[in-house]
Amino acid sequence: MRYVADVVVSLKPVVNDPQGLTVRSGLHQLGFAEVAEVRVGKHITLEVDADSEASARRRVAEMCERLLRNPVIEDYSVELRPAAEASIAPAPPPP
Amino acid sequence: MRFGIAVFPGTWSDRDCARAVEVLGHQSVPLWHRDRDLGGVDCVILPGGFSYGDHLRTGAVARFAPLMESVQEFAASGGLVWGICNGFQILCEAHLLPGALTRNVSLEFRCETAWLRVETVDTPFTRACHPGAVLAIPISHGEGRYVADAATLDRLEAERRVAFRYVARDGSPVGEASPNGSLRDIAGIVSEARNVLGMMPHPERAAEPILGSEDGLQLFRSVVETVAERSVFAVAP
């Protein structure tokens, strides 16, 4: 069974995020004064083959711990879904 | 003595390091990232560059290179390991040093002379420096902002493990002129056992008069002194 895992890696709240501050300032300059905070992170999409959702979840967590995030400065979250529902392969162009 | 200089795909400062070693009349050998043999060198340098393209995070992939397993063992047995720029990033990713290097506060890649105050001479890498001396050593990085939690920073200070701090040219606090926004202006730290040094600035680029500064040679000399002393003890009855 194939699963799609959406991994979001973000800086821990205590770590200053100069990219986020710059984006916020850019949005303010464009008139989006309502933007209070911006944090910039990474979105990593994986397609994984696994026997079960639990197993896929466990393996993806291992990947996050070993490589995808730096535990010193980053947190992560994972959303998992069966690949059949939505593959990361690009959709064919509309006719 | 012999320095080993690691070469990962994307390393760019290995030859500059070799040149600095040569200036002092010593030898160096390149250490290929896929090899595990350190060739009996006295000190391993992890030089600057963009190992494996720095994809995902700086140093994140290099950390898993076969060579790094040997470097970890070498460090654990007291061997001298010196990470410069990307090498510092790799050492943090490998947890040989605490903390992490993140994007410069300015979001800019900075390539310029930095002034570093020597915060401790009680390390194998700074013993030939004068305490409190201000060294002119270039930086060249986009992700050199040192961060760690407050407890780690306090511990580094208490154990006198901050080797260098960014300062103004006259040695006063660098303040807003910090090249990267490092917490507590930290430019370099040593491990608990003091045999592993990580620093963002490039001492190998301040190793000859033609480069505008020879201050970096003091660090290389320190390592040479340390190794000479160790070998004397090694043959003592």
Query: Does residue A87 belong to any structural domain of this protein?
Result: no
- Give this complex's ipTM: 0.80
Which residues in chain B are closer than 8 Å to A11, comparing Cβ atoms? Answer: 102
* pLDDT digit string (tens) for chain B, length 237 residues: 999 999 999 999 999 999 999 999 999 999 999 999 999 999 999 999 999 999 999 999 999 999 999 999 999 999 999 999 999 999 999 999 999 999 999 999 999 999 999 999 999 999 999 999 999 999 999 999 999 999 999 999 999 999 999 999 999 999 999 999 999 999 999 999 999 999 999 999 999 999 999 999 999 999 999 999 988 776 654
Q: In a 3-state reduction of DSSP, which class is residue B157?
A: helix
Task: Report if residue A24 sits inside a domain.
Answer: yes
Measured between alpha carbons, how far is B172 from B111 in angstroms, rounded to an integer? 21
CATH code of the domain covering residue A22: 3.30.1280.10
* Contact criterion met (CB < 8 Å) for A68 and B56: yes
- Identify the CATH number of the domain in which residue B63 sits: 3.40.50.880
Per the structure, how many domains does chain B have? 1
B100·A70 Cβ contact <8 A:
yes
Domain that holds residue B41: 2-235
The total number of structural domains that make up chain A: 1
**What's the CA gap between B41 and B31, in Å, rounded?**
10
CA of B57 to nearest chain A CA: how many angstroms apart?
A: 8
Q: Which domain holds residue A27?
A: 2-82
Q: What is the CA radius of gyration of chain A?
A: 17
Q: What is the pTM of this model?
A: 0.91
Most distant CA atoms of chain B, gap in Å = 56
Answer yes or no: is A63 within a domain: yes
